[in-house]
Amino acid sequence: MINHDLVIVGGGPAGLAAAIGAYESGIKDILIIEREEHLGGILNQCIHNGFGLHTFKEELTGPEYASRYINKVLEYKIPYKLNTTVIDLNGDKVITALNESDGLLLIQAKAIVLACGCRERPRGAINIAGSRCSGIYSAGTAQKLVNIDGLKVGKEVVILGSGDIGLIMARRMTFEGAKVKAVVELMSYSSGLNRNIVQCLNDFDIPLYFSHTVIEIKGKDRLEKVKIAKVDEHLNPILDTAFEIECDTLLLSVGLLPENELARNYDVNLSKTTNGAIVNENMMTSKEGIFECGNVLHVHDLVDYVSEESYLAGKMAAKYLNGELNLKSKVLTVNPTNGIRYTVPQLINIDDNYSPIQFKMRVSNVFKNVEIRLLVDDEVIFKKYKQIVTPGEMETLNIKEDLVKKIKQGSKIEITLFRRS
């Protein structure tokens, strides 16, 4: 049995930032566990720029952004294990992990940060009819094949889903000499950042079909064509609108699933909306000493926000280990209403800690000319005007100490959208 004060599961941007946050808060006995052969996570295959504008005030590629945190971990000499998979987490904070060199590992932790990231939703989860021919990839898999392995995945491409990775791969495939014939989106709006629609589709004259979906895949050995149809207000295909596009490649960008198997096995309370853990403002889950952050908690649009949130999780894990958190405090539930799909955190401790709180949230649709309002006992204590809010862009409310004190003296918290006339 190996003993550590803090174990961080995941060596991507979330895990690295959490480790640095804990170390800079005084915790030195830390272990990072990463299942891949390098630290950095998904950023290693994201060779496009656009990272770091918030954190470093400059535009970086994914590997450049990751290297800033990896170098800090190396500077602090925080130990890590690569090519190591965590297969279990039990109620005594004992982690079971496996790798080729050590075999089976049992690691006793005093606190754990889950920074496991997320995975792509596969074809099987969306039930597209048709043959099981080659040429169908998740967008992230195609990205790895092109950017890491140097392979060409196709010549004529259709992309299903307008999430950020799908939009970015439309541009990347174009750079590789492929013809991207269409991006098809089930919803009436994009789930990606608006800047990616402009830079990855509009700049290359790639058509984007809203309220459409792929209803059939055709091909014997290799994909030959896809059938696309418009959908109605209930998202059901309107068959008489169907048309076919010839292509040899279909990329799926149809959502991300937080990798919460460990949390689920540990009976951590999970949100039905985000599929991540329900956490308080200290990033602690329903299980004492278990923290969660990054895309395993909720899917972020910017890695800068992942790093910020995860640094906080590491800092709070350090406070827990130092006995500085009030674990017996009563909690208030944050209620998202009227167009707010969810908030993180979902719970607020009522104690004497009036540090700033940042609420992160996503909306359920595209809304224009609105205020995001924070209400305590039906009184508006904070509001933020937005010309437009979309599901693809995460919104934040930064609440300062004086208003945090007011929140914690209340009995009901609500975050809502108010539509201006």
What are the pLDDT digits (tens) for 335-379? 999 999 999 999 999 886 778 999 999 999 999 999 999 999 999
Q: Are 12 and 45 in contact (CB under 8 A)?
A: no
- Which stretches of the chain drop beneath a pLDDT of 70? 352
Integer Cα distance of 332 and 414 in angstroms: 10
Integer Cα distance of 72 and 70 in angstroms: 5
Torsion of CA 223, 227, 228, 233, to 10 degrees: -120
| Among 417, 346, 335, residue whose Cα is nearest residue 376 | 335
Find the DSSP H helices in 153-252.
164-175, 194-196
**Which residues face 250 on adjacent strands?**
136, 158
**Which residues face 36 on adjacent strands?**
none
| Among 17, 20, 36, 37, residue whose Cα is nearest residue 115 | 17
pTM check: above 0.85: yes
**The token pair that represents 84 in the structure block:** 């190591």
In terms of phi and psi (left: phi > 0; alpha: psi -120 to 50; beta: otherwise), the region of 262 is alpha
Residue 354 pLDDT: 76
Q: Are 105 and 284 in contact (CB under 8 A)?
A: no
Q: Are 113 and 9 in contact (CB under 8 A)?
A: yes
**Which residues face 159 on adjacent strands?**
183, 251
**Residues in contact with 216: Cβ distance below 8 Å, sequence separation at least 6, in sequence order:** 128, 129, 130, 226, 227
Integer Cα distance of 74 and 70 in angstroms: 6
Cβ count within 10 A of residue 282: 25
Q: How far are the Cα atoms of 59, 193, 197 from residue 204, in angstroms, in the given order?
A: 22, 17, 10
Q: b/e per residue, 57-87, with b = 16+ CB within 10 A?
A: eeebbbbbbbbbbbebbeeeebebbeebebe
Cβ count within 10 A of residue 327: 12
| Among 3, 2, 6, 1, residue whose Cα is nearest residue 30 | 6
Q: b/e per residue, 177-195, with b = 16+ CB within 10 A?
A: ebebbbbbbbbeebbbbee
Tokens 């402009």 belong to residue? 198
Coil, helix or strand for 84? coil
Q: Per residue in 302-334, pLDDT tens?
A: 999 999 999 999 999 999 999 999 888 889 999
Residue 392 pLDDT: 87
In terms of phi and psi (left: phi > 0; alpha: psi -120 to 50; beta: otherwise), the region of 340 is beta
Q: Which strands make up the sheet holding 395-399, listed edge to edge?
A: 340-344, 357-363, 395-399
